[in-house]
Structure 1
Amino acid sequence: MPESPPRREPALVRHLARITDTTLAVLTLVFFVAVALATGVHNPWDGAIQLGAFLGALLLVRRRWPMTVLLLSVAGIFVYHLTGHWPPAGWIWPAAVAYFTAATTPHVRWVAAIGVAQLVYSGFDARWLIERNLPRYLIHVIGEGVLLAILVAAGVTYAAALRWRERLRETDRRAHAAEERLRVSHEVHDVIAHTLAVVGVQLNVAADALDEEDPAAAAEALRVAKDVRNRAMADLRSLITVLRDGPEGTAPQADLSSLDALIEDARAGGLKVTLDEDGDRAAVPAVTAIAVHRVVQESLANTLKHAQASEARVTIGYGPRSITVEIADNGRGVPDGAEVVEGHGLAGMRERVSALGGTLTAGPAPGGGFAVRAGIPVAGSTA
């Protein structure tokens, strides 16, 4: 399948992200100024408000340029302290959000290196505290080191969680695609089996007619075979498109509106088919309708190929909660005591019906011949 374009976040998610970044920007300004005042700054307009506004403004673009935001934040903090402002206002925490955001990128080693460099300079800058107040110095350096480690670890963990969630989404997409391909494979089998059965019968009829020097009958048989083949090719083109490109834009699959064409194909193959319907076929949901169509199609194809039958009866009951389908023929059936050997056709029908919560049985009919019976819940019903 072609590579899908980058997934764009929903509008609500983008809106919430903007609100979050704006809130963090305001909190950074307010908190930095408050801490500066609490640690001895008398005039907040002497650098504190300007740096707080600068750090907050950077957070508005942190998602687009995380490493740039981190470097500019660290540079702003250095300029602030190197111009004579005492560092109790902090070295690491004013850039906490920038460190966390940058740590979610693949450049986490550079983030750690920048943080360590900032910590080393912070410890060097406060070295005069060692003689005056060693516990305070240790708290200052170790505390900021622990904060840096927490921020980097949180960023790495958050990024890993996002990657894991994306892998789960991709796994779900792949599983859905596999299920779709399996469904399409059943559809392909049903179409091919039905087409080969009807076309094979018509070619035999044409050959016999030519032997009997009846060109009109041979031409009619070939016309029927051509019509069946053309319908099958249209179905197969739609199904192959699903396998190649995915389900988007494919033509609708065969449903109950095509039942009459199925019956006519079987009759053209020499099988006398009677269709009995009870209820309104138009009220059947699409998913259930496709399953009913495929059960009838595969059953008639099997009858034409294997049963050596002359007659078949298709009985369908359209109930409000479930659909009952029975296809019975007067062919050779199964010898007494012998087990029914399920080929791909019966197995595919059973899987299709089971996937919708229904049941399917196949075996000798009471009066002779072979019968397929299916009960399929109506999609969306509470049955």
Structure 2
Amino acid sequence: MPLAFTVLVAVDLAAAGTVIVAERLRLPWWAAAPVAGAQALPLVLALFRPVAAWWLSLAASLPYAIGVALDDSAARAEVPWPWTEPGLLAYLGVTLLVAYRVRTGVSVSQWLLTLLLGGVLTVALSPPSFIGDLLPLAVLSVCALAVGATLRGRSQARRDLREQEALTEFERTRRTLLEERTRIARELHDVVAHHMSVVAAQAEAAPYRVAEPPQELTDSFASIRENAVGALRELRHILGMLRSSEENPQPRHAPQPTLENIDDLVANVRAAGLRVDTVISGEARPVPQRVELSAFRITQEALSNALRHSPGCQAEVELSYGRSGIGIRVANSPAVAGATGEKGTGHGVVGIWERTSMLGGSVRIGPREDGWFEVMASLPTGERE
């Protein structure tokens, strides 16, 4: 809408200026039209290139100003100079847009250059009979500069206010998020960490409550304690991340597991009674930490699901290294006859989907035709084929 309106005004000023230039310079309309059009065109250009438009407007005034000054008729002293009336309106419009779009210092410099050019033309063109036109030009230009600078200041103030409101809302949201994370961390510490500490302590003390306990029982309690201590270690790491105010908190309490820890994970699950076969294909190589951690967690969650939902089952774990990604496949058979598995909440499956999606990978989770349950995920490593 502003562009269409400005074009309409410029065309109207150019048409009126053509008639005036043709009459005062005694030119045919086709010769006067470029002179008047050059004075009106900067009004449209100022919407996109305000400084260039000002220079063009200043240069467009010269043909008319020189033509009037060289006229020997006595009526020339009564002719507006160095712009025609429509040209002056176009110049004031350009001045207004320049003051609105650029810094005040630039606008003032351009205003001073305009007065300097008018003074030079007055001195250079004899006789200097047009000095009186500089005063109204200077006053009108100052008014246009003042209006443009005021509008620019108000617009800048509104932008600053919107930015401040957005920043305030962001800080409010961030503070709410940090408070919620702190609350979750506090609950995890007071409830989960307490119970896991109790489990670890009871598992360590249990063998000593029985005289000459079987080695299998001692090993079982040792495995329980080891898992409880490992869970506490990772829980402390998570609590540190939750309490951190950084956007990407770095691990401070314990190193994150990698694919090199898959054997330990499988051994731990075997100690819990799960029969697991592992296969690693392809050439193992370093991969980004986020990919390695996600691959470990997906495998861990799939094996945990097999333990909970299919007691006594047989499981298969396969890791395949490709040129541009890593494939994970974890499958488990149905539970042994007479065993009853736990009913899950689905949070683990959702976690697998989320980890895969964040890395831009793909995942398929569900039963196979032979009755086995299978989790297959493909994680890109960011390397090209």
TM-score, normalised to structure 2, is 0.50
Query: Which of these two proteins has the greater Rg computed from alpha carbons?
Result: 2
Which has the higher relative contact order, 1 or 2, with Cα contacts under 8 A spaced 6 or more apart? 1
